[in-house]
């Protein structure tokens, strides 16, 4: 256990719950920005990469814990990925507007 004080446990659990809710914003951004003509494809790709991370992360954490014998590296691994996600939303995501596909000549 990393924390033994009840108020800190409640605080960390509330922070994790808040983070889970923020994670759902990815679907809202995807739905608002994907071209209407390929919204199903966009949602499928978004879901595919989410599921790939759901496969890779437990394998990576198992390898880290198996190699080091501690969950410290696994917590760092998850924390770094969370930091990358936050920075991506802050830096890479610009105005939220739908992408319009240009018609192909001859169609």
In sequence order, what are the residues at sequence separation of 6 or more whose Cβ sits closer than 8 angstroms to the Cβ of residue 4?
none
Which H/E stretch holds residue 82? helix 72-87
| 106: pLDDT strictly greater than 80 | no
* Cα angle 30-34-40, degrees, rounded to a multiple of 5: 90
Kindly state the tokens that stand for 40. Answer: 């199903």
Q: Is there a contact between 69 and 4 (Cβ–Cβ < 8 Å)? A: no
For residues 93 and 37, the model is more confident at 37
Hunting for tokens 């992408």 — which residue is that?
99
pLDDT at 3: 81
Q: Is there a contact between 77 and 61 (Cβ–Cβ < 8 Å)? A: yes
pLDDT tens for 90-100 read: 898 878 888 88
| 1: pLDDT strictly greater than 70 | no
Percent of the chain at pLDDT exceeding 70: 98
Percent of the chain at pLDDT exceeding 90: 37
Mean pLDDT of 55-63: 95
pLDDT at 107: 67
Rounded to two decimals, what is the model's pTM? 0.68
């Amino acid at each position: 256990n990393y924390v033994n004080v009840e108020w800190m446990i409640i605080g960390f659990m509330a922070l994790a719950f808040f983070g889970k809710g923020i994670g759902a914003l990815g679907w809202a951004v995807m739905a608002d920005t994907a071209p209407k003509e390929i919204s199903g494809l966009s949602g499928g790709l978004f879901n595919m990469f989410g599921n790939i991370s759901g496969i890779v992360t437990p394998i990576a954490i198992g390898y880290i814990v198996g190699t080091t014998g501690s969950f410290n590296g696994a917590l760092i691994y998850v924390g770094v990925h969370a930091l990358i996600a936050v920075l991506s939303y802050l830096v890479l995501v610009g105005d939220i507007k739908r992408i319009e596909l240009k018609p192909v000549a001859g169609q």
